[in-house]
Amino acid sequence: MSSETKQILTTDGIPLEVSLKKAEKKNKIKAFLLVAPLLLFLVITYIFPIGDMFMRSVDDRMVTNMLPKTFKAMEKWENLEELPPEEVYRGFYEDYKLLVEKQEHGKLGQRLNKEKNGFNTITKRLFRQIKRNKIDESISIKDQINKIHKRWRNIEFWLAIKRTAPPYTMAKYLKGMDMYVASDGSIAQVDEDRRIHRILWLRTLEIAFFVTLFSFFMGYPIAHLLATLPMKYSNLLMICVLLPFWTSLLVRTASWMILLQQQGVVNDFFVMIGLVGDDNRPEMMYNKVGTYVAMTQILLPFMVLPLYSVMKTISPSLMRAGKSLGGTPFVAFWKVYFPLTIPGIGAGCLLVFILAIGYYITPALVGGASGTLISNQIAFHMKTTLDWSFASAMGLMLLTGVLVIYWIYNKLVGVDNIKLG
Amino acid sequence: MALPSYTETRYRIWHYIYLTICTFVFFFLIAPLFVIFPLSFNAEEFLVFSEGMKNLDPDAFSLRWYKDMIYGTKNPWGLAAKNSFIIAIFATIGSIILGTLAALGLSSRHMPYKGLIMATLISPMIVPLIISGVAIFFFMAKAGLAATHTGIVLAHIILGTPFVVITVTATLSGFDHSVTRAAASLGSNPVNTFMKITLPLILPGVISGGLFAFVTSFDEVVVVLFLAGLENTTIPIQMWTGLREQLSPTILAVATCLILLSTLILISAELLRRRSERLRGINR
């Protein structure tokens, strides 16, 4: 390259290359500044809090913070086959006395009880001794504590304290899958009759899957009809899809509650056509039937709209060409039309499935006990048990699932196909 | 959809089956909404059609529940409606401003990391609401904004902006950038160009995004249940408590009003969509 071509100058005498780079950089900054307010807002109010959820779900510094002297002394506890040395006992005693003054000893007892069953009893015993000033600090604390309860002489209980030392724990995630860390450090399953969370995960997946399936089988024909009818009819029919889409979720749930109740319109109709007797009307609400019916109707527009927008772009002459080349209408449909609608099917199914998997309001109102999903459980722990770290852990497990589905979808179909309305 | 006269009988039958299925699905979609109308005029306290209503006896119908909705003592609907409208209006304005600016930046071809930023901006739409609710609650509690109007408005801006970003980006994708260059070459400054040239052209997209944001806020219940105190009750919260506790026909009166409101929104959204497509030169 000769030096002349390098030295193309702008009217200001600056090399063109430099000037162009400068202008491009300026444009980049300009574009970024436009996005910056929203990006900053979302990062602060939304992305960081999701990170905060993660911190809360794994955070396990409570015991460490409550028992600083104990953990300091435990560094000297070398032979883990024997009871810890005097310093550990003394450290624990001093920490615990401080907690009693701050009235936080109850929290510690409950937390340690989760680690080793029966712990709460012996910390309460110790509490009573401290309240009565029965402990003489000038002689061996180890001997005095060991006399309070035989469990204090059991090494298992001291090992349980030691186990809480790491600042982070996966216990909440394990609990979300009905597992726990056993006293020997291995991961164990909870008893079969107490595995509630696994049932909820499976039920959530099952309901999301079937709602997606029902929506697809109901949405495909009407999207096809809407896309092939002349404009003036299809616009009118489109209202049937768009009006529910724009109507409040609670209004639609309320109408299903009225329709499905035992004295409701659907049951009235069944009685009228003689399908069921007046005295044994089936229960259609507060069970899975109610959840399926209501959720399918509520999520159906999210299936129809992407399908419609894809089908609208398919030229009718393709089907005619298929038929004129000797295909029956079924073959023409299956070999020509259907493959072209796959992006729409993907987008619709993704939308419905992701919305269904996080559903909360409708199942809570029409689902009853057998219609509760994982989201209801998260809300329950947020509001009733106030176990926010467990709610966070389950929320993040759900989020991971959704992101995996989204990623697979993006690999298979591409996210650009999502359209609104 | 008339069939050609040479269609074989079996395809003719199949075609009618197909039409029947479609009719059923359309009925399934729209009919539930119409149950609410007549029942909201029920003279009795039960949520079932009384014998009188089935016989169209005029005495079985009344405006009782509408009166209760508006004048009823100790009833929360007035406060709830006021709160809902205030929150939704501010949330919509916030979403429109932040969302439109971001969409303008995103449609610039100079935008770095476009995919990543777009994914971040629309993430509140993809993340299940319950998770958004938990995260936003943690933030608002730390910032001292739980149980305030400000907190709920901010939360609804988070949920509403993705819609504005998507609709405005879509409108801008068909936007002819030479018109802004023409304006600039004629001596207009960037702000003036935006107000006089760009904004009028993308306005349909902005408004339809705003409508989405409004409806999202007005209809939102999951996040607001975490955030709202007694003073911040909204229509969805009242409906939620009403549906859980005592199913009174007043709820149906409110629901009827909400259906009328959504009909209004549907009509404006449709008109906007058509106008926008005309402006973008999409003819069907």
Q: Annotate A67-85 with DSSP letters as a single string.
A: -HHHHHHHTT---TTSPPP
Q: Provide the token pair at A371.
A: 């219609």
Interchain pair A27, B110: CB under 8 A: yes
| Number of domain units in chain A | 3
Smallest Cα distance from A168 to chain B, Å:
20
Residue A206 CA to residue A227 CA, distance in Å, equals 31
For residue A35, which residues of chain B lie inside 8 Å, CB to CB? 101-102, 105-106, 111, 117, 121
B240–A250 C-beta distance less than 8 A: yes
Over residues A386-411, the pLDDT tens digits come to 888 899 999 999 999 999 988 888 77
Q: How many separate domains does chain B show?
A: 3
Long-range contacts of B260-267 (CB under 8 A, 24+ apart): B262/A243, B262/A246, B262/A247, B262/A248, B262/B215, B263/A243, B263/A246, B265/A246, B265/B211, B265/B214, B265/B215, B266/A239, B266/A242, B266/A243, B266/A246
CA dihedral B34, B35, B38, B40 (to 10 degrees): -110
Q: Mean pLDDT, to the nearest integer, of A171-197? A: 81
User: Does residue B170 surpass a pLDDT of 90?
Assistant: no
Does residue A73 carry a pLDDT above 50?
Answer: yes
Q: Looking at the structure, do residues A301 and A230 belong to the same domain, yes or no?
A: yes
Phi, then psi, of A273 in degrees rounded to 5 = -85, 5
| pLDDT in the model for residue A151 | 85
Residues B5 and B92 in one domain: no
How far is it, in rounded angstroms, from Cα A178 to Cα A196?
7
Interchain proximity A32–B240, CB inside 8 Å: no
Confidence at A196, pLDDT banded by 50, 70, 90: confident
Residues B163, B267 within the same domain: yes
Chain A to chain B, count of Cβ pairs less than 8 Å apart? 258
Percent of chain A with pLDDT over 70: 96
pLDDT above 60 (res B1): no
Q: Kindly state whether residues B17 and B122 are assigned to the same domain.
A: no
Based on the domain organization, do A372 and A311 belong to the same domain?
yes
Asked which of A200-204, B185-189, B201-205 is least confident by mean pLDDT, the reply is B201-205
- Same domain membership, residue A351 and residue A289: yes
Kindly state whether residues B193 and B121 are assigned to the same domain.
yes
B6 and A CB contact within 8 Å? no
Q: Do A35 and B163 touch (CB under 8 A)?
A: no
pLDDT at B280: 62
For residue A382, list chain B residues with Cβ-Cβ distance below 8 A. Answer: 133-134, 137, 226
Average pLDDT over residues A210-216: 96
Q: Do A278 and A324 reside in the same domain of the chain?
A: yes
Please give, rounded to a whole number of angstroms, the shortest distance from the CA of A102 to a CA of chain B: 24
Q: Say whether both B230 and B139 belong to one domain.
A: yes
Q: How far is B128 from chain A (nearest CA, A)?
A: 5
Q: What is the mean pLDDT of chain A?
A: 85
**Smallest Cβ distance to B121: which of A30, A42, A50?**
A42
Residues B50 and B98 in one domain: no
Do B122 and B214 lie in a common domain? Answer: yes
Residue A247 has its nearest CB partner, among B19, B33, B102, at: B33
Residues B157-167: tens digit of each pLDDT: 999 999 999 88
Q: B282 pLDDT band (50/70/90 cuts)? A: low
Write out chain A residues lying below 8 Å of B104, CB-based: 34
Residue B6, pLDDT above cutoff 80: no
pLDDT of residue A416: 57
Considering only alpha carbons, which residue of chain B is nearest residue A30? B105
- ipTM of this complex: 0.86
Predicted confidence at residue A421, as pLDDT, reads: 41
pLDDT band at B62 (very low <50, low <70, confident <90, very high): confident
The rounded percent of chain B whose pLDDT value lies above 70 is 95
CB atoms within 10 A of CB B15: 14
| Segment among A261-275, A292-306, B42-56, B154-168 with least mean pLDDT | B42-56
Q: What is the mean pLDDT of residues B114-133?
A: 89
- Which of B102, B174, B159 is closest to B128 using CA atoms? B159
Tell which B residues from 11 to 40 touch A, by Cβ distance under 8 Å. 11, 14, 18-19, 21-22, 25-26, 28-30, 32-33, 35-36, 39
What pLDDT does A224 receive?
93
Residue A85 dihedral angles phi and psi, to the nearest 5°: -70, 170
Assess whether pLDDT exceeds 60 at residue A4.
Answer: no
The more confidently predicted of residues A298 and A130 is: A298
Whether the pLDDT of residue B188 is over 50: the answer is: yes
Structural domain includes residue B284: no
Is the pLDDT at A360 greater than 70? The verdict is: yes
| Per-residue pLDDT, B213 | 93
Side-chain-facing half-sphere of A17: CA atoms under 13 Å: 4
Range of the domain at B213: 80-279
Judgement on whether residues B85 and B128 belong to the same structural domain of the protein: yes
CA distance B133 to chain A (A): 9
Question: Considering the domain boundaries, does residue A283 fall inside one?
Answer: yes
Residue A150 has pLDDT above 70, yes or no: yes
What domain range includes position A30? 10-58
What distance in Å separates residue A181's CA from the closest CA in chain B?
26
Same domain, A234 and A339: yes
Please judge whether B29 and A402 are an interchain contact, meaning their C-beta atoms are less than 8 angstroms apart.
no
Q: Does residue A148 form part of some domain? A: yes
pLDDT of residue B2: 63
Give B252's contacts in chain A (Cβ within 8 Å): 254, 258
| A138 in any annotated domain | yes
Same-domain check for residues A148 and A289 = no
pTM: 0.84
Instruction: Identify whether residues B165 and B189 lie together within a single domain.
Output: yes
Tokens of B83: 């709160």
Q: What is the pLDDT of residue B232?
A: 85
Of A147, A167, A187, which marks where a domain is finished?
A: A167
Give CA–CA dist B13/A278, Å, rounded.
Answer: 36
Q: Are residues B179 and B159 part of one domain? A: yes
Lowest average pLDDT, out of A302-316, A355-369, A403-417, goes to A403-417
Considering the domain architecture, whether residues A311 and A348 belong to the same structural domain is answered as yes
Q: Look at residue A16 in the predicted model and tell me its pLDDT.
A: 84
Nearest by Cα to B30 from A253, A241, A265, A258: A241
Higher pLDDT, A80 or A352: A352
Instruction: Identify the burial level of A313 via C-beta atoms within 10 angstroms of its C-beta, where 0-12 means exposed, 13-18 middle and 19 or more buried.
Output: exposed
Check whether A135 has a pLDDT greater than 90: no
Structure confidence at residue A309 (pLDDT): 86
Check residue B8 and give its pLDDT: 79
Indicate if B168 and B139 belong to the same structural domain: yes
For A377, other C-beta atoms within 10 Å of its C-beta total 22
In a domain, A39, yes or no: yes
Give the pLDDT confidence score for residue B23 in this predicted structure.
93
Nearest by CB: A259 against B32, B120, B258: B32
CATH number, residue B149: 1.10.3720.10
pLDDT on residue B283? 44
Q: Which of A44, A228, A246 sits opposite B1 (nearest CB)?
A: A228
Q: Which of residues 109-168 of B touch A (CB under 8 A)?
A: 110-112, 117, 120-121, 123-124, 126-139, 154-155, 157-158, 161, 163, 165-167
Give yes or no: residues A217 and A156 share one domain.
Answer: no
Q: Which of A174, A180, A215, A177 is nearest to A196 (CA)?
A: A177
In a mutational test of the A interface, the residue from B35, B37, B98, B134 whose CB has the highest number of chain A CBs within 10 Å is: B134
In a domain, A290, yes or no: yes
Q: Looking at the partner chain, which of B127, B244, B263 has a beta carbon nearest the beta carbon of A399?
A: B127
Same domain, A239 and A344: yes
Contacts of A173 (CB under 8 A, 6+ apart): A57, A58, A393, A397
The closest of A261, A253, A303, A304 to A284, measured between CA atoms, is: A261
Whole-number CA gyration radius for chain B: 24
- The stretch B61-79 carries a mean pLDDT of 77
pLDDT at site B281: 60
Do B89 and B175 belong together in one domain? yes
* Owner of token pair 């149950």: B35
Q: Across the interface, which of A24, A42, A237 has its CB nearest the CB of B26?
A: A237
User: Is A240–B137 a contact, with Cβ atoms under 8 angstroms apart?
Assistant: no
pLDDT of A236 over the 60 cut: yes
Asked if residue A410 and residue A309 are part of one domain, the reply reads yes
Query: What's the pLDDT tens digit per position in B221-278?
Result: 999 999 988 888 899 998 898 888 877 788 888 889 999 998 888 888 888 777 777 7
For residue A217, the chain B residues in CB contact (below 8 A) are none
Q: What is the pLDDT of residue B164?
A: 93
Which run of H or E residues covers position A180? strand A179-181
Does the pLDDT value for residue A36 go beyond 50?
yes
Confidence band for B73, pLDDT divided at 50, 70 and 90: low
Are A210 and A297 within one domain?
yes
Is pLDDT above 90 for A83?
no
**Which of A248, A376, A418 would best serve as a mutation to test chain B binding (most B beta carbons within 10 A)?**
A248
Contact between residue A196 and residue A178 where contact means Cβ atoms under 8 Å apart: yes
Residues of chain B contacting residue A391, judged by C-beta atoms under 8 Å apart: 134
Q: What is the mean pLDDT of residues B205-231?
A: 90
